[in-house]
């Protein structure tokens, strides 16, 4: 099967600056049995990943330019990551090709009935949708109950060889993610400073791309500037992130926003970290009962709960080791990239076979 993969605007298909969606797309291609016949279309970047057939297009009007590329490449099936409008546009431009939406987060549902009807109608041009969690799929089905689009769930996975624990774990609490308030990073910093551990350090690995993220980054650095136990780094490439997670004993990811299927949690599981996180969105689908869950972020004592969780996991060595081992075991059994990529390939084959069978049926038998 020949595949065309489309990355929407805002992605950065490069070792430095790659988003979680870029990494998911790359991992799935590298472990796919269709890798040799797959191309990835995305916005122009310097030094794109060299191990994938990447076709750059101008970062503006990506969907329009991608449709031109796909018309030339003639794939059997097209996958558009995240952006439903781009997927619908390509499906309308190339009606002879099955187009699949691969959704990583909740869709924005406009309140107006007319707007929602229009979006639901646009989605009917697609052949199927893949969601990274049941949480996201359920939200979609609730918003568009009349839509007969076939839907599937394939979780995010990572490579358990690249993402692995170091031989020696350090007394480090690591946060990996965007510099955004709704990721809980400021609460985490305040909780760590409140706990004042003598022998532990907090390592904040921050992705800083937008103006708002730069503002939050400056706020964080201002808070932490006088504390030697806090190390802050930004825009590391993914191999540096791997090393940071591999060395850390604890990963603290207290997201306030509901995550679809948080890749950072999956990476921390692979790196055998004891994880402190929130039970929001699709996180329980990823982590199961292998992590220390905080209360829901709206709790009035959320900051105190983070501080207490940090204190508990830092001081109780047996509990920390139990969490770390359980996380790695669950990762290997369920969400290692080899298992996930096979499931993904199987789903794409099913979608293509169904589409082919439908187009072969006489009109009066449908």
Report the pLDDT value the prediction gives residue 149, as an integer from 0 to 100: 93
Beta strands in 52-158 (DSSP E): 54-57, 77-81, 99-103, 128-131, 151-153
Q: What distance in Å separates the CA atoms of residue 50 and residue 10, rounded to the nearest whole number?
A: 20
Does the pLDDT of residue 136 top 90, yes or no? yes
Report the pLDDT value the prediction gives residue 296, as an integer from 0 to 100: 83
Report the pLDDT value the prediction gives residue 365, as an integer from 0 to 100: 40
Q: What is the mean pLDDT of residues 162-181?
A: 96
Q: What distance in Å separates the CA atoms of residue 184 and residue 7, rounded to the nearest whole number?
A: 27
- Per-residue pLDDT tens for 35-59? 999 999 999 999 999 999 999 999 8
Does the pLDDT of residue 290 top 50, yes or no? yes
**Max CA separation in the chain (angstroms):** 75
pLDDT band at 119 (very low <50, low <70, confident <90, very high): low
Cβ-contact 156, 265 below 8 angstroms: no
Q: What is the mean pLDDT of residues 184-207?
A: 94
Most confident listed range (99-108, 286-295, 353-362): 286-295
Structure tokens at 169: 């774990």
pLDDT band at 109 (very low <50, low <70, confident <90, very high): low
Domains of the chain: 3-157+338-365 (3.40.50.2000), 170-335 (3.40.50.2000)
| Mean of all residue pLDDT scores within the chain | 92
Q: For the stretch 75-86, what's the b/e string if a residue is b when 16 or more beta carbons lie within 10 angstroms of its beta carbon? A: bbbbbbbbbbeb
Q: Cα angle vertex 68, ends 66, 73, to 5°? A: 90
- Per-residue pLDDT tens for 267-281? 999 999 999 999 999
Report the pLDDT value the prediction gives residue 111, as an integer from 0 to 100: 59
For the entire predicted model, the pTM comes to 0.90
Helix (H) or strand (E) holding 6: strand 3-6
Cβ-contact 136, 101 below 8 angstroms: no
Structure tokens at 180: 């955004």
């Amino acid at each position: 099967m020949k595949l065309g993969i489309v990355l929407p605007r805002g992605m950065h298909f490069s070792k430095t600056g790659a988003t979680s969606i870029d990494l998911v797309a790359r991992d799935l291609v590298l472990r796919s049995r269709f890798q040799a016949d797959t191309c990835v279309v995305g916005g122009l970047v310097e030094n794109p990943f060299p191990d994938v057939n990447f076709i750059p297009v101008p970062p503006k009007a990506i969907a329009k330019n991608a449709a031109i590329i796909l018309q030339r490449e003639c794939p059997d099936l097209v996958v558009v990551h995240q952006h439903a409008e781009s997927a619908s546009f390509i499906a309308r431009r190339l009606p002879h090709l099955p187009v699949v939406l691969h959704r990583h987060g909740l869709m924005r549902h406009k309140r107006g009935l007319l707007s929602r009807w229009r979006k639901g109608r646009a989605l009917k041009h697609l052949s199927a949708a893949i969601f990274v969690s049941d949480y996201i799929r359920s939200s979609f089905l609730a918003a568009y109950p009349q839509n007969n689009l076939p839907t599937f769930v394939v979780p995010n996975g990572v490579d358990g060889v690249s993402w692995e624990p170091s031989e020696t774990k350090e007394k480090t609490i690591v946060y990996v993610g965007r510099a955004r308030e709704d990721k809980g990073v400021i609460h985490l910093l305040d909780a760590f400073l409140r706990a004042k551990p003598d022998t532990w350090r907090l390592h904040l690995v921050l992705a800083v791309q937008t103006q708002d993220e730069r503002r939050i980054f400056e706020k964080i650095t201002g808070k932490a500037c006088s504390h030697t136990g806090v190390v802050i780094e930004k825009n590391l490439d993914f191999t540096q992130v791997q090393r940071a997670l591999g060395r850390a004993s604890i990963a603290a990811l207290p997201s306030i926003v509901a995550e679809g299927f948080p890749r950072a949690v999956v990476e921390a599981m692979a790196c055998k970290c004891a994880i402190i996180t929130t039970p929001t969105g699709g996180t329980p689908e990823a982590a199961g009962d292998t992590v220390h869950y905080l209360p829901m972020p709206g709790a009035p004592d959320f900051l105190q709960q983070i501080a207490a969780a940090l204190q508990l996991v830092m001081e109780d060595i047996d509990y920390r080791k139990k969490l770390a081992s359980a996380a790695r075991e669950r990762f290997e059994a369920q969400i290692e990239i080899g298992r996930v990529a096979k499931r993904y390939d199987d789903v794409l084959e099913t979608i293509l076979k169904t589409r082919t069978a439908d187009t072969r049926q006489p009109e009066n038998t449908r």
